[in-house]
């Protein structure tokens, strides 16, 4: 009997060992006897859950470190584990973000499409069909294609094109979250602000339709697709300045009246923010005429300088602080006179120039705010990484554009350039000739402008 029992036990152990090899890679690197797996079937689920958590944590860490290949590997592992608790729409969204950073737009498109379908519970083809009915209700003759090409705050675009021989219309549907403040702002811009100020219609795409879906809290903003090329700084500066004239023609008073129609002023950045973070550009510059805002800005600049260990530029920051903060220059900036509509992300990527028709369009209006005239043009120049001397030569000291900014607006134009400079220097040493020269030339020019203002005794 004993020999028979031992023989059966040995056969059972061999079977256990064989089975354990199959599941070894799934159970955290150690094996479980078959008897235990039968006795405790929850072990597999627990191991699966723990492994999914591990990959999620590693993926999040990799994204923070901008290790995109590593992050995509771990997100894919989460999907492969097929744990319903963790295989959510958001996993595909984050995977799509990683592929976008790697410039693998085909793969990011696949993942964002999956995100939309899981988030809404609807096939994207069905959503597109509904949109087509709203865009071309009479003919319905549209070819549509979804794609994701990057950009902040969107889940991709749907391109629509009519295939009638008589005419050819093109439209673009932007997919965003309807809970997003910026998404709400963009809808208000096209549906309300442009209607109130027709001059803006001449430089923006025509609004076709706004559709919201309760499923997934998504918004579909459809605009007429505009043609054009991105501007070159010196060749197309006239177009850029003319755009600024039109945008800044919508003054603070106009926008304040318009803002009063809404329950919240957050859509116009008119909030009384006590100490806005300098990296929140719209909120910071919407409140740049307040002492508390400028105090916060200089506190932040000094912390950046000490973090970089660049004590050799402290004298330049002290000079800047004396000219702006100590002299209370911000009090001379009148919000009624010197504030107007600003795009907020005024770069060449959001400007399209069609030189054949002379049509110029500004797109992506989700960051607009009411701020000092000159912010947008300063933002444009900083994005182009021009030297301060170049900016001074082609714009600030150019008599052709002398009427765009008043003297106090020129002072805050230079001040804005310096603030934006510090937003670009994280981890960059100031012994870099470009940054040191830029800061020195800007503060010297600022001193001249402040002296001129004080001599004139006006704005």
How far is residue 188's CA from residue 175's CA, in Å, rounded to a whole number? 16
Best mean pLDDT range from 42-51, 132-141, 148-157: 148-157
Residues whose CB is less than 8 angstroms from the CB of residue 410 and which lie 6 or more positions away in sequence, other chains included = 374, 396, 449
Examine the pLDDT at 448 and tell me if it is beyond 60: yes
How far is residue 411's CA from residue 332's CA, in Å, rounded to a whole number? 11
Examine the pLDDT at 27 and tell me if it is beyond 60: no
Q: What does pTM read for this prediction?
A: 0.83
- Please name the residue that has the structure tokens 């004590």: 311
pLDDT at 24: 47
Residue range 92-149, pLDDT digits in tens: 999 999 999 999 999 999 999 999 999 999 999 999 998 988 887 655 688 899 999 8
Q: How far is CA 277 from the centre of its chain?
A: 16
Same fold, 124-224 and 237-456: no
pLDDT at 229: 92
DSSP 266: G
Mean pLDDT for the stretch of residues 316-321: 95
Mean pLDDT for the stretch of residues 340-361: 91
Q: Give Cα separations from 176 to 129, 156, 282, 321 (angstroms).
A: 18, 8, 20, 40
pLDDT at 275: 42
Mean pLDDT for the stretch of residues 245-261: 83
- Residue 301: phi and psi, rounded to 5, are -60, -45
pLDDT band at 381 (very low <50, low <70, confident <90, very high): very high
pLDDT at 41: 52
DSSP 271: -
pLDDT band at 250 (very low <50, low <70, confident <90, very high): very high
Examine the pLDDT at 12 and tell me if it is beyond 60: no
Mean pLDDT for the stretch of residues 283-311: 87
pLDDT band at 410 (very low <50, low <70, confident <90, very high): very high
Examine the pLDDT at 44 and tell me if it is beyond 80: no
DSSP 208-252: EEEEEETGGGEEEEEEEPPP-BPPPTTTTHHHHHHHHHHHTTSBH
- The first and second tokens of residue 5, run together, are 């029992």
Q: What is the mean pLDDT of the chain?
A: 84
The CATH code belonging to domain 237-456 is 3.90.1200
Q: Residue 169: exposed, middle, or buried by beta-carbon count in 10 A (0-12, 13-18, 19+)? A: middle
Q: Where are the domains of the chain?
A: 18-87, 124-224, 237-456
DSSP 288: T
- Cβ atoms < 10 Å from Cβ of 418: 22
Residues whose CB is less than 8 angstroms from the CB of residue 157 and which lie 6 or more positions away in sequence, other chains included = 146, 147, 148, 149, 172, 173, 174, 175
Q: Say which residue, 28 or 113, is predicted with more confidence.
A: 113
The CATH code belonging to domain 124-224 is 3.30.200
Examine the pLDDT at 38 and tell me if it is beyond 80: no
pLDDT at 276: 47
Residue range 159-215, pLDDT digits in tens: 998 876 566 788 999 999 988 888 888 999 999 999 999 999 999 999 999 999 888
pLDDT band at 426 (very low <50, low <70, confident <90, very high): low
* In contact, 193 and 200? CB cutoff 8 Å: yes
- The first and second tokens of residue 7, run together, are 């023989």
């Amino acid at each position: 009997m004993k020999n028979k029992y031992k023989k059966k036990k040995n056969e059972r152990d061999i079977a256990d060992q064989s089975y354990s090899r199959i599941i070894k890679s799934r159970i955290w690197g150690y094996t479980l006897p078959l008897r235990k797996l039968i006795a405790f079937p929850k072990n597999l689920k627990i191991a699966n859950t723990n492994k999914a958590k591990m990959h999620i944590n590693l993926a999040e860490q990799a994204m923070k470190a901008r290790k995109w290949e590593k992050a995509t590997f771990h997100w894919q592992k989460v999907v492969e584990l097929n744990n319903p608790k963790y295989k959510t729409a958001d996993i595909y969204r984050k995977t799509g973000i990683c592929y976008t950073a790697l410039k693998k737009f085909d793969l990011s498109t696949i993942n964002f499409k999956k995100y939309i379908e899981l988030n809404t519970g609807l096939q994207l083809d069905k959503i597109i069909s509904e949109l087509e009915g709203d865009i071309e209700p009479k003919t319905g003759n549209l070819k549509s294609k979804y794609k994701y090409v990057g950009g902040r705050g969107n889940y991709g675009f749907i391109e629509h094109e009519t295939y009638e021989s008589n005419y050819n219309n093109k439209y673009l549907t932007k997919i965003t979250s309807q809970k997003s403040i910026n998404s709400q702002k963009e809808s208000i811009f096209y549906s309300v602000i442009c209607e109130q100020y027709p001059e803006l219609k001449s430089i923006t795409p025509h609004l076709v339709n706004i559709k919201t879906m309760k499923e997934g809290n998504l918004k579909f903003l459809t605009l007429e697709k505009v043609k054009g090329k991105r501007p070159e700084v010196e060749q197309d500066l006239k177009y850029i300045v003319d755009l600024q004239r039109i945008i800044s023609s919508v003054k603070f008073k106009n926008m304040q009246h318009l803002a009063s129609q809404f329950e919240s002023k957050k859509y116009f950045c008119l909030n009384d923010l006590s100490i806005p973070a300098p990296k929140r550009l719209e909120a910071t510059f919407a409140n740049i005429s307040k002492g508390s805002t400028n105090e916060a800005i200089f506190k932040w600049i000094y912390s950046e300088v000490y973090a970089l260990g660049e004590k050799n530029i402290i004298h330049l920051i002290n000079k800047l602080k004396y000219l702006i903060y100590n002299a209370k220059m911000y009090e001379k900036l009148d919000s009624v006179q010197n504030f107007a509509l600003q795009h907020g992300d005024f770069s060449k990527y959001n400007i399209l120039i069609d030189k054949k028709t002379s049509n110029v369009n500004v797109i992506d209006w989700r960051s607009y705010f009411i701020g000092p005239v000159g912010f947008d043009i300063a933002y444009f120049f900083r994005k182009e990484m021009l030297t301060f001397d170049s900016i001074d030569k082609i714009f600030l000291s150019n008599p052709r554009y002398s009427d765009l900014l008043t003297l106090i607006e020129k002072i805050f134009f230079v001040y804005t350039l310096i603030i934006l400079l510090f937003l670009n220097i994280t981890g960059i040493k100031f012994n870099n000739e470009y940054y040191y020269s830029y800061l020195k030339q800007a503060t010297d020019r600022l001193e001249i402008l402040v002296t001129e203002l004080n001599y004139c005794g006006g704005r």
